[in-house]
Amino acid sequence: MDTRTIQSRDVAYQLHPFTNLGRHEAEGPLVITRGKGVYVYDEAGREYLEGLAGLWCTALGFGEERLVEAATRQMRRLPYYHQFGGKANDTAIRLAERLIGLVPVPMSKVFFSNSGSEANESAIKLCWYYNNALGRPRKKKILSRLRAYHGVTLGAASLTGLAIAHRDFDLPIPQVRHADCPYPYRYARPGEREEDFATRLAESLDAQILREDPDTVAAFIAEPVMGAGGVLVPPRTYFEKVQAVLRKHDVLLIADEVICGFGRTGRMFGTETFGLGPDIMTMAKALTSGYLPLSATLVSDEIYRACVRQSEKLGVFAHGYTYTGHPAACAVALEVLDVFAERDLLGHVGRVGPRLLDGLRALGDHPLVGDVRGVGLLAGVELVPDKPGRGTFDPPGAAGTLFVARAEANGLIVRALQDTVALCPPLVISEGELDELLRRFGRALDETAEALGR
């Protein structure tokens, strides 16, 4: 099938997520047909270094045969079974036990679903169910943050603090509020130290909870590093101070580890990297290296026990999905965890992560580069038209869109979050491949500056 035919068939039959649909009809898709290691290839055979690990997820790269074989073995033995009515499969049981032993804070139970959106949707419902079980029917509001991304189902999209996820979808739902965004490059006051900025945000959160009435606020949800909001690394002492506010008002903490989990920040979970003590953890993406859909919501024993009492009262815990604990997906996740341990991927990220960040920071004198931020193998480069004044492009995203196009022309796939370019390569990337990524990034940066100048 030639390129024009396959592109036209895509336009004819598919509705694409997070896409300008009119532009897509005119321009068509980039059709990826195969992948190997950190590279993917389009229908014409052109090679691209996959600088975002798909959508932040393909930690082990493409074509990892061990994951294919794990899925195949499980599909032959038991391709599917449900978890309703007390049923279970042995593979999901083993994975749940493994995750409980892996997380850095005490958790009691694992609830499996299919995506990060569903994991966070389940977290919302569990917070509500928990407070109903405790006789606190008013304690239902969930605090998220501006620029957060937590998914696109009704509840999860409401938690997302990006207007594009709300406009004309009639969101957010009434129980969700948004707190300040920990984004020092844009929101710190002139001369304000990171620690002072963190103090100001914690005080603002405390005042917001008091305005809402602490008896109505159930939980606060946070990504350790905010991904789709611009790869925003929290300022020093931020989570320490925020958690003190949450404890003061008896507000649960939900750690959204969908992007940060499984080695991305250099520790197994972002919760470890930034000192979080959550009551609920959600995870997905790298859990299966993106090979099959799977997510998990982990809850503390206090929340689980309340759920037990409430289900006994009502007769059933009436929440779940057809594919909860899908055995093939769980088999792949178990194999992913084995690969992590056997290849010391956390050690590898510790060794190569500084190479990525140092290479990007070396571009700091470039006239388009306003800020470089990141941790582990996760980075964002913010493009600006006016470095001294930290200006923004008009319209927002103009430079980011152009950069993505120039990067693809140079064989590099990245993602523009308005005018911040996100980088999240597969964790298995080598030093040589990182150097190649940086070379292609630098060429795209120069070509973007030239095009903007024209």
Render pLDDT for 73-105 as a digit per residue (tens, 0 to 9): 999 999 999 999 999 999 999 999 999 999 999
Over residues 179-183, mean pLDDT = 98
Three-state DSSP at 131 gives helix
- Domain end point (choices 342, 377, 392): 342
pTM of the model: 0.97
In this predicted structure, what is the pLDDT of residue 377? 98
What is the number of domains present in the chain?
A: 2
Question: Residue written as tokens 């909001």?
Answer: 229
Tell me the C-alpha distance between 142 and 131, whole Å: 12
**Per-residue pLDDT tens over the stretch 38-65:** 999 999 999 999 999 999 999 999 999 9
Residue 272 lies in a domain: yes
- Same structural domain for residues 325 and 242? yes
- Same structural domain for residues 318 and 446? no
- Same structural domain for residues 48 and 90? no
Domain of 377 in residue numbering reads as 31-63+344-453
Mean pLDDT taken over the chain: 97
Beta strand 176-179 pairing with 141-145: parallel
Question: CA-CA distances (angstroms) from residue 404 to 52, 85, 397, 409?
Answer: 12, 48, 10, 9
- Same structural domain for residues 382 and 322? no
The dihedral over CA atoms of 155, 157, 160, 162, expressed in degrees to the nearest 10, equals: -150
- Same structural domain for residues 151 and 51? no
In this predicted structure, what is the pLDDT of residue 4? 80
pLDDT above 90 coverage of the chain, percent? 98
pLDDT above 70 coverage of the chain, percent? 100
- Same structural domain for residues 233 and 137? yes
- Same structural domain for residues 274 and 218? yes
In this predicted structure, what is the pLDDT of residue 360? 98
Tell me the C-alpha distance between 400 and 415, whole Å: 8
Tokens of 248: 């003061």
Nearest to 141 by CA among 154, 128, 152: 128
The answer to whether the beta carbons of residues 330 and 252 sit under 8 Å apart is no
**386 or 296: whose pLDDT is higher?**
296
Burial class (CB in 10 A: 0-12, 13-18, 19+), 417: buried
- Same structural domain for residues 118 and 223? yes
**Per-residue pLDDT tens over the stretch 337-366:** 999 999 999 999 999 999 999 999 999 999
Q: If pLDDT is split at 50, 70 and 90, which confidence band does 3 have?
A: confident
**Per-residue pLDDT tens over the stretch 405-429:** 999 999 999 999 999 999 999 999 9
Least confident interval from 2-6, 268-272, 430-434, 449-453: 2-6
Residue 423 lies in a domain: yes
- Domain end point (choices 321, 342, 363): 342
Q: If pLDDT is split at 50, 70 and 90, which confidence band does 389 have?
A: confident
- Same structural domain for residues 300 and 438? no
- Domain end point (choices 325, 342, 359): 342
Instruction: Please report, for the domain that includes residue 146, its CATH number.
Output: 3.40.640.10
Three-state DSSP at 383 gives strand
Residue 55 — φ and ψ, nearest 5°? -120, 70
Over residues 435-451, mean pLDDT = 97
Beta bridge partners of 281: 255, 298
- Same structural domain for residues 391 and 301? no
Tokens of 121: 């949707």
In this predicted structure, what is the pLDDT of residue 101? 98
Q: If pLDDT is split at 50, 70 and 90, which confidence band does 1 have?
A: low
Tokens of 385: 């038209």
Beta strand 39-42 pairing with 295-299: unpaired
The answer to whether the beta carbons of residues 338 and 417 sit under 8 Å apart is no
- Same structural domain for residues 145 and 276? yes
Residue 287 lies in a domain: yes
Instruction: Please report, for the domain that includes residue 362, its CATH number.
Output: 3.90.1150.10
In this predicted structure, what is the pLDDT of residue 446? 97
- What is the number of other CB atoms lying within 10 angstroms of the CB of residue 12? 8
**453 or 114: whose pLDDT is higher?**
114
Question: Residue written as tokens 């920990």?
Answer: 182
- Same structural domain for residues 93 and 215? yes
Beta bridge partners of 373: 380
Residue 57 lies in a domain: yes
DSSP state of 146: T
**Per-residue pLDDT tens over the stretch 182-235:** 999 999 999 999 999 999 999 999 999 999 999 999 999 999 999 999 999 999
Nearest to 253 by CA among 243, 262, 241, 268: 243
